[in-house]
Structure 1
Amino acid sequence: MLPWLEDQLPKPRLAHSLRVEAMAVDLAQHHGLDPVKAAQAGLMHDLAKYYPAEKLLAMAQQAGLEIDPVDEANPHLLHADVSALVAQQTLGITDPEVLAAIANHTLGRPAMSPLSCVVFLADTLEPGRGKSDDLKRLRRLSYRHLPQAVYQTCDYTFAHLINKAKPIHPRALNTRNWFLSQHRTKS
Structure 2
Amino acid sequence: MRDRVISWLADNVPDSRLQHILRVEQMSIELASYHNLDVAKAAQAGLMHDLAKYFKPQVLLEMARSEGLELDPVDEANPHLLHAEVSALVARDRFGVQDEEILQAIRNHTLGRFGMSLLSCTVFLADSLEPGRGNSGELEALRQESRQNLYQAVWGTCDYSMKYLIETHRLIHPRTILTRNWAMQIASKKVLSGTA
Residue 186 of structure 1, CA deviation? 2.0
Name the structure 2 match of 1:2. 6
Give how far 1:46 is off: 0.3
Q: Counterpart in 2 of 1:100?
A: 104
Superposed CA offset, 1:13-48 (max 9, x none):
000000000000000011000111010000100000
What does the per-residue CA deviation read over 1:39-84, in whole Å, with 9 as the maximum and x for residues that have no partner? 0000100000000100000000000111000000000000000100
* Equivalent residue in structure 1 for 2:40, among 26, 30, 36: 36
Task: Work out the CA distance in 1 between the residues paired with 2:73 and 2:188.
Answer: 31
Distance 1:50 1:89 in 2: 17
CA distance in 2, matches of 1:181, 1:42: 26
Q: Structure 1, unaligned stretches of length 5 or more?
A: none
Structure 1 stretches of at least 4 aligned residues deviating more than 3 Å after TM superposition: none
- Matched residue, 1:80: 84
CA distance in 2, matches of 1:33, 1:11: 29
Q: How many residues align?
A: 187
Query: Equivalents in 2 of 1:114, 1:174: separation in Å?
Result: 16
TM-superposed CA distance for 1:125, in Å, is 0.1
- Which residue of 1 is the match for residue 19 of structure 2? 15
Structure 1 CA distance for aligned equivalents of residues 99 and 13 of structure 2:
23
Verify: 1:26 aligned to 2:30, yes or no: yes
Q: 1:163, 1:29 → 2: CA distance?
A: 35
In structure 2, C-alpha distance between the alignment counterparts of 1:185 and 1:66, rounded to whole Å: 31
- 1:91 aligns to what? 95
Question: What is the identity, as a one-letter code, of the residue corresponding to 1:113?
Answer: S
- Per-residue deviation at 1:109? 0.2
Gaps of 5+ in 2: 192-196
Q: Does 1:172 align with 2:176?
A: yes
Amino acid aligned to 1:51:
F
| Partner Cα separation in structure 2 for residue 157 and residue 66 of structure 1 | 23
Matched position secondary structure for 2:170:
coil
Structure 2 residue 104 is the aligned partner of structure 1 residue 61: no
Q: In the alignment, what sits opposite 1:158?
A: 162
Secondary structure class of the residue paired with 2:95 = coil
Amino acid at match of 1:64: G
Root-mean-square deviation (CA), in Å? 0.5
What's the TM-score once normalised by structure 1's chain length?
0.99
SS of equivalent residue, structure 1 residue 139: helix
